Structure 1
Amino acid sequence: MNKKAVITGGTGFVGSNLSRELLKQGWEVFIISQKEFGYKNIEDIKNKLNIFEYDGNIQKLINFFKDSKADVVFHLASVFISEHKTDDINLLIDSNLKFGTHILEAMKESNTELIINTGTSWQHYNNENYNPVCLYAATKESFEKLMEYYIQGENLRAITLKLFDTYGETDTRPKLINLLNKFSREKTQLDMSPGDQVIDLVHVDDVVNAFIQAYEYLSENKSVKNEEFAVSSGREIKLKELISIYEKVTGNKVLVNWGGRTYRKREVMNLWKNFKKLPKWECTISIEEGLKRMPN
């Protein structure tokens, strides 16, 4: 019998790639979407997915879970805002806490036991046990605290994967690699910070494999109730170094104005290091190989 997965955030960058890989492996895939975000990232596989459009009605969500009878929930949906404004607070809370709690309640009501949750390395500013870089990171931590009740009180079992930076060929977000492609192609100047911050880039194929490995680990180890692991390439790269690697690999010159903008209020200058690695998972795609795959 085919395994069944519910994916939240299935129309996003990582979620769409996870959906594709699970379909390749013979899973039946259910995604929870919101119509306003569209289906651009999954047009090639949309007709192979079971799609539930969430409108905030928890009873409809519970019924969907009861019908789907999923083996696991991959919870990737969230709103990311690096520096929030006052008007962003409701969006962050509704998306990252309220919706997530609706998912947990639906799992409880449908006897769906396993969840692979998504956290962020930004929960660990200055490599501290908990020091959120921003309100987004604080909502990620808060959701883990909410999840603890359902683990202790309702017998859910969970793994949280804390992600560093992700990238890949199908990424349409205005993230760093895409910006480098854009500005090198247009031959326009890119204003950047002084460039001494350190980043950890993990290719989306490796990230997807981590989610699948996390499910297998949780499924096979019945004693695991709630654990967290980082999804790290194991390689720290200064922003200045990344630009050099990008130019060498792609042959594209980037006109960078170093110091053209200031660092963020809580720029991550040193990465989180005190983490556990997911058993049996390895990062297999180097930044050099990943950049070779990127469309120019």
Structure 2
Amino acid sequence: MNERDSKRALVTGGTGYVGAMLVRRLVADGWDVHLIVRPDSDAGVLGPAQDKVVFHPHDGSTEGMIGIVRAAAPDVVFHLASLFLAQHTVANLEQLVRSNILFSTQLVEAMASNGVRHLVNTGTSWQHYENDDYNPVNLYAATKQAFESLLAYYIEAHGLVVTTLVLFDTYGPDDWRSKLIALLWKTSAATEPLAMSPGEQMIDLVHIDDVIEAFLLAAAQLRMREHGHERYGISSGQPLRLRDLVLAFERATGTRVPITWGGRPYRPREVMTTWTRFAPVPGWQPRIPFETGILQTRPATAPGA
């Protein structure tokens, strides 16, 4: 790979699930990868890729961030770091704002200071409650929208070129998160039924490999643009009612998941309908059906493993 063709990425959130899978793929594809990390981040989630990336611990300061971006000198910044809280409390409000607004703004300030222009940002479909153009499900979603508003200044005043990928739910192999799929596997091995909501809410699950393809394609297209902010939804195109998703899980895995539907109420501002008013990344479409992808998530202790 010659200097003209070299690709250097700076990644935030690289020790989260989606970020770690992106880092693994970037390394496999020959990118020079740099990560912004907290001093206590667990690099083990990167697997063998951890030995092929450059880590930049961030001390929390704007000056420190400027130094990191200067040292990394990336062609593209992938911003995936965020603090997710389904429901915040007074005690964690400041942390939510620091993580999702202050840190993110420090990042783009550092990009502007160093003449780095290309950013792939990450949004959430929870910014679009009841399929609205903007209606945050919770404060987490509101902070994601707040950062997008701040981005407008850096785009107009400093020439940043931005693509925001709006994610729905993600799943895939090696997923350590305590999310729906892990819960279904755990419950399939249990005898006591799991108390769940009535199950009428829609779930849009996208396989991690498809999500990573969207990031890579967005980055390639971003580097060919000169200005502006484009925003795309990364959807499976086939959202399912929670009840139907559990049935699809049972059919694909040959297991039974004992559930008491209606055993607990819906959460406040439960997302009953998925966001549909989005454009996909040009040239991208999901390729891994749930029935195939779900088999890759079977834990070693699950029935039939």
Same structural fold, with TM-score higher than 0.5 when normalized by the shorter chain: yes
User: Is 1:124 aligned to 2:128, yes or no?
Assistant: yes
Moved more, 250-259 or 3-12: 250-259
Counterpart Cα distance in 1 of 2:40 and 2:189: 31
Q: SS of the residue aligned with 1:35? A: coil
User: Is 1:293 aligned to 2:303, yes or no?
Assistant: no
Q: In the alignment, residue 131 of structure 2 is paired with which amino acid?
A: N
User: Is 1:138 aligned to 2:133, yes or no?
Assistant: no
Contact kept, 8 Å, 2:161 with 2:225, in 1: the verdict is no
Give the gaps of 5 or more residues in structure 1. none
Q: Deviations over 1:118-156 (max 9, x none)?
A: 001110111111100000000000000011110000111
2:161 alignment counterpart? 157
Counterpart Cα distance in 1 of 2:183 and 2:41: 22
1:274 alignment counterpart? 277
Q: Deviations over 1:202-255 (max 9, x none)?
A: 011111111111111111233x41110000010110000011111111111111
Q: In the alignment, residue 22 of structure 1 is paired with which amino acid?
A: L
Q: Deviations over 1:151-191 (max 9, x none)?
A: 00011110100000001111111100011111212333211
Contact kept, 8 Å, 2:200 with 2:241, in 1: the verdict is yes
Task: Give the one of 179, 186, 198 matched to 1:194.
Answer: 198
Q: Deviations over 1:257-279 (max 9, x none)?
A: 11111101100111111111110
Task: Give the one of 64, 74, 81 matched to 1:77.
Answer: 81
User: Is 1:253 aligned to 2:259, yes or no?
Assistant: no
2:8 alignment counterpart? 4
Counterpart Cα distance in 2 of 1:134 and 1:49: 34
Q: SS of the residue aligned with 2:166? A: strand
Contact kept, 8 Å, 1:61 with 1:106, in 2: the verdict is yes
User: Is 1:110 aligned to 2:106, yes or no?
Assistant: no
User: Is 1:172 aligned to 2:176, yes or no?
Assistant: yes
Give how far 1:37 is off: 3.7
Q: In the alignment, residue 154 of structure 1 is paired with which amino acid?
A: H
Q: In the alignment, residue 110 of structure 1 is paired with which amino acid?
A: N
1:49 alignment counterpart? 53
Contact kept, 8 Å, 1:187 with 1:254, in 2: the verdict is no
Counterpart Cα distance in 2 of 1:55 and 1:38: 16
Q: In the alignment, residue 90 of structure 1 is paired with which amino acid?
A: E
Task: Give the one of 29, 35, 40 matched to 1:36.
Answer: 40
Q: Evaluate the alpha carbon distance shift between residue 258 and residue 37 of structure 1 in structure 2; reply closer, same or farther with a 3 A threshold.
A: farther
Q: SS of the residue aligned with 1:29? A: strand
Give how far 1:82 is off: 0.8
Q: SS of the residue aligned with 1:117? A: strand
Counterpart Cα distance in 1 of 2:35 and 2:191: 40
Contact kept, 8 Å, 2:44 with 2:50, in 1: the verdict is no
Q: In the alignment, residue 34 of structure 1 is paired with which amino acid?
A: R
Matched residues, number? 295
Give the gaps of 5 or more residues in structure 2. 300-305
Moved more, 169-178 or 213-222: 213-222
Q: SS of the residue aligned with 2:278? A: coil
Counterpart Cα distance in 1 of 2:66 and 2:100: 18
